[in-house]
Each structure stands twice: as structure tokens, then as C-alpha cells.
Chain A
């Protein structure tokens, strides 16, 4: 099914300088009971974002007015743990289109790409630089250029390249999805079955 296409995004970013953010933090298990994909953004980072009585925690970055934008910048090993795709849905539903980190967990990376959320892996040095900039200037603008696979700090010109495999890049640029690809290759799958399974 067609998804939103991704080419170039310019946006300020939301810094979350925490390592090992697991998918239980992104969306706790007790909010996984819906049977549709929508609405998970309300509970994104639920237990960090709200205190135990349900009021917003003013210390948490999503509750700070000075940080906005479609890009989340976060510490290494983001998205570890549970395979719940609800984590990617929650980030997307909240409004994020890009997550920048120095290291992503495998399953999260796949889930993000399958939902039009672009994981951008940068060096630890570049990541720390972004955190520094976010303190000095919360409005710091980033540009994510998918065709050139480049992330740039617009105000300073600092940039870094990022990796994405050619197939996934094509999918993101055109809004294609893996299931369409597989469905159009059913004959190959059937041929495989015939040769490998009796």
C-alpha cells in the first residue's frame, strides 16, 4: 500500500540524550492492546512523559516548548528489546519522521523503515555535537537529504553521510512497501516451495 514519500526534510529536532532506549520505554506493554495502528502517539514515552498521577512531567523533553520538530535525536542502541512495531507507530503517530542515533537495534530499524520512519545512523561524535547544539540553540535546524544520504546542520553547515541499503532507499523515496514487492513475486515463492518442499 502506498505510503508517504520521503525525499528531503528540514526540521528542528528534539534531543533525548539517553542510551539504550528500549521499546518498553517508547511504548509500554500496557498500551499495546489496540487492534489498529492509530493513536499510539498519545502514549509515546508514556512513563517518562507523564508522572504517576497522569500529569505531564515538565522535565521530559516532549513537554518542553522550546523543542519541536519531526526529528528525534537520541542516544546509542535506540529501540532495543521487544519487537513491538507499536514503537515505530507511536513515534510516527506523534509526528516524528526521522530518528537520529549512533546505533539502532535491528528489529526497530526494520520496523521503522517499514513505516516510513527513517533511521539515520551517525557517528558518536556527530551525535554528541547535535546534543551540544541543542543546548546552545534549541531551534537548530537539521536537513535530512535522503537522495544524497546526508544529514546537515543547516545553521553551521556541519554534515555527515549515512547508510541505507539501495532497496530500502528506493522504497522510502517512492513510498513503496515490502508486501507489495513480495506479492508481485508470488510465482517465485511458489517455485521455491515446489523445489524445496516436496
Chain B
């Protein structure tokens, strides 16, 4: 048999039909939905007089619009409240399980999928959200779709997709002290650019990837889309199996053992060919920070903002970006003032991220000039943080643990960074206005965010370790 990549194996196993000169009809094992990208899809199937084809393969939560304080009260903002109510109505009407506000499993869709065991190796998973790539950490094919495609999946449990090209990114070696999966993905994105992955699905491999926890792998796969790649995946191993074991919707007992054996066999064949291969050395990676308005504009936190020649074809867009940030080429990042710190999102809102942040700030005080929002990714993450007493340590240092949701990552709720203010954020996008109109975002790991939160300025987190 011809050697195949992990991606090919899962994809080919889900092709219902190949349309000549067109896309594949791909069967979807798990469809995750949320309030923002689903209402028009439900309206669409209702207009066609069609029912949801496989409600048992569909799971919903409310995350994008929800407040991160006083979640027991009705949502104050009318449009947000209506959108969340619409999701409740749609789920009730179509018998779709909804873990909405007030439910102990509520949370960011890409945090709850894995923690409930809904995400499993070998699956195809979609959601009307580009960070669906997160679930690739389990060795599944997971990618974001638009609302018309949400409608397709609701109606037929399939999407039409052209098969992407394949890229393998191998990272060998050991990450240095204070260097995390977030730094790894910001590093890779800075190397291949915010569009270098477009048209590809990425497999991450190598010893540095293997040594990551599931949380770290999720952070890495989460930001595959920031290179333009539809998704990224990592072959399942013992770390994957141990994470999935015992979770609510994971297979149990003998069934689990049988599945685990099958999952462990999911890997790229030795002689399989990728369309593109890149290898990085983990020891080259330092704590990273972005200085511009796309995630490819990243440098080591100790670095200086690159100078681009005015004659370079990219110069206009580059300097427009620096203008927006209020930065100048050649300046160092260390010491730049910080107004806001955001810990959370589907990139860095899991328990390990909270622990890392708390570990750094323990024994210090939040800088007076900094407003900090510490937002757990889910109710279960929040519960665990409370059980571990992380909230108390945060409180002693002048921080508040808020309630779960997407929050300031995209500022659809009240958590908006004011115009012109500098935000150090553990989220995934530093686009203009992403965290609020005029907000200036610098993406970092939870460790670098914690260092900024206590010093009030951009700081090398290694000074605290």
C-alpha cells in the first residue's frame, strides 16, 4: 500500500463521495455550535423544511457573547441576550444538547469539547469558528467553517471541502526555561508568516511536540489558523490516551481499551510524502511577543522591532501596522508600558495556563497601572481553579478570577480594551480593533503576560523563574 500521512488516513476514511473536478463530500463526526455563527444556519434549514440530521453528533454552548461577571443575571446587552436566547430556542426545537449559561459544562467551545471527551482521535470535527483547529491536538481533523457550511452539517452531517495540501512542521529538541507551546507557535508563525500555511493542513511532529502536555498541544494546534492553515494535528500517543481516559463522553472500560489501541495506530507512515516540510530547533525559541497587527509579526520578547526597507513591496502595510500600534521600527519591546493584561481564550484559558500565571505572580502584586482580566475557559476550569485555591492567590496579588467565556479575545461582550490602550493578551489575534475599537494587542504566553501584569511593562518572564 502507498504510504499515507495521518491526515490522509483520517480524511480518506471520511469521504462519502469525491465530486469530479470539485470538492469531497466529507462526513463529520462531531459538530460543535455556538450562538454567533449558527442562527442563520438554523433559519436556513427551517426555510428548506429540513430537520437537523444528526442531533446526537451535535453539541452547543454559549461562549462568544457571555459576560464574565454576574452570569446568574440576564445578559444586559440586548443583542447579545437575544442571540443567546435564539441558540436556546434552536437547540430545544432541534433536540441538540446545550451547555449554556448556568450549566456546569458551559465554556468556550474549544475548551469544553476536549474536557468532556467529545473530542477524540481519528474524528472529523467542525464548528463555525476558525479556532476549531484546537481539536487537532488529539489527532483529529478539525477545522473552522462558515455559516453556510454549518447549515450543510446541520442538514446532512457533511461538508463539501477540497482536500488541502499537507505540510509537516517538525520541532526537535527541548524548549528552554520559560518557553511554552504559545511561544513555539508564535515563533513558527513569525517564520512562515500569517499566510504561509494557507491551502495546507499541518502535522506537527518531533520530540519537542511529543514532550508537550495536551494543553500545550491544544495551544499549538489552536493557532494553526493564524498561519492561514485550515488546521493542524498531532498523532495520538500515550499522553493523548491518558487525557481522554475517563472523560464524560469518552468510551468506557473495554470499549476504551479497544479504541485506545486503534488511536495509537493512527500515525503517518514512514515514507509518506508531504507537499512541504519544515524543521525547527526548539532551543532557538525564546519567549515571544507580537509587535504588529497580525500574528506573524512576532519577535523574541528581548528583541527589537524589525526595520523594513521603504522600497520593500510590503513596506506600506508594515508601517501602517506599526502606526496603529504606536511603535517605531528598531525599538526594543522590553520596558514598553502595559495598560491591560488578558489571560484566557481558547488558546490559553485552560487550567495549566491559570496555574502557570498564578505560579509567576505568587508573592508579587499586580502593578497599579494594569487592569487585568483573568478568565477561565470553562466552568470546569473555573471549578478546578477554585478547588486548587488559585482564586485566593490571585486575590492576594490584586487579581480577580472572572467567569468563563471568550471575553476580551474578540470583545463581543463588555470586556473591551479602550482605544489606544496597550493589552498584553494570551489570546490568538492582534488584529486592529480585535479587542475593542482602537485597542493595541501584544500576544504572549501566560508567563510573559504574568510578568507584564506585575511589573506594568513588557518584561522577560525568565527574570521571574
Seen from chain A, the residues whose Cβ lies within 8 Å of a Cβ on chain B are 1, 17-20, 22, 24-25, 28-30, 32-37, 47, 52, 75-77, 80-86, 88, 103-107, 110-111, 114-115, 124, 165-168, 177-179, 181-183, 185-186, 188-189, 192-193, 196
The interface centre, meaning the residue of A1, A103, A105 with most chain B CB atoms within 10 A of its CB, is: A105
The interface centre, meaning the residue of B23, B155, B160, B313 with most chain A CB atoms within 10 A of its CB, is: B160
Chain A residues with Cβ below 8 Å from B316 are 17-18
Contact of A167 among B16, B19, B151, B438 (CB under 8 A): B19
Q: How big is chain B's contact interface, by range?
A: 35 or more
Chain A residues with Cβ below 8 Å from B48 are 1, 179, 183
CA distance A186 to B16 in the complex (A): 10
Bitwise interface map of B from 43 to 56 toward A, beta carbon under 8 Å scored 1, else 0: 11001101001000
Chain B residues with Cβ below 8 Å from A76 are 195
Chain A residues with Cβ below 8 Å from B164 are 106
Are B317 and A107 touching (Cβ within 8 A)?
no
CA distance A30 to B199 in the complex (A): 29
CA distance A52 to B420 in the complex (A): 12
Contact of B432 among A25, A75, A84, A165 (CB under 8 A): A25
Are B228 and A105 touching (Cβ within 8 A)?
yes
Chain A residues with Cβ below 8 Å from B294 are 20, 22, 80
Of all chain B residues, which has the CB nearest A113? Answer: B148
Chain B residues with Cβ below 8 Å from A84 are 36-37, 146
Interface of chain B residues 128 through 161 with chain A (CB within 8 A): 128-130, 144-149, 151-152, 155-158, 160-161
Contact of A22 among B53, B149, B160, B431 (CB under 8 A): B431
Known: A75-B317, A179-B152. 20 other contacts (CB 8 A): A22-B294, A24-B429, A28-B433, A36-B43, A77-B195, A81-B429, A84-B36, A85-B40, A85-B148, A104-B198, A110-B149, A167-B20, A177-B148, A178-B148, A179-B44, A182-B160, A183-B155, A185-B16, A186-B156, A193-B27
**B79-87, B271-279, B280-288, B329-337 - interface stretch:** B79-87
CA distance A25 to B20 in the complex (A): 36
CA distance A186 to B160 in the complex (A): 13
Are A107 and B195 touching (Cβ within 8 A)?
no
18 contacting pairs across A/B (C-beta < 8 A): A18-B317, A20-B195, A22-B429, A22-B431, A35-B83, A36-B43, A47-B437, A81-B225, A83-B37, A84-B36, A106-B230, A115-B148, A165-B162, A167-B23, A178-B149, A178-B152, A182-B155, A189-B25
How far in angstroms is the closest Cβ of chain A from B224?
11
Are A83 and B412 touching (Cβ within 8 A)?
no
B234 near A: Cβ within 8 Å?
A: no
Chain B residues with Cβ below 8 Å from A20 are 194-195, 293-294, 317
Are A107 and B145 touching (Cβ within 8 A)?
yes
Of all chain A residues, which has the CB nearest B143? Answer: A107
B192 near A: Cβ within 8 Å?
A: no
The interface centre, meaning the residue of A20, A104, A107 with most chain B CB atoms within 10 A of its CB, is: A20
Chain B residues with Cβ below 8 Å from A25 are 431-433
Are A185 and B22 touching (Cβ within 8 A)?
no
Are A83 and B431 touching (Cβ within 8 A)?
no
Chain B residues with Cβ below 8 Å from A85 are 37, 40, 128, 146-148
B95 near A: Cβ within 8 Å?
A: no
Contact of B40 among A19, A37, A104, A168 (CB under 8 A): A37
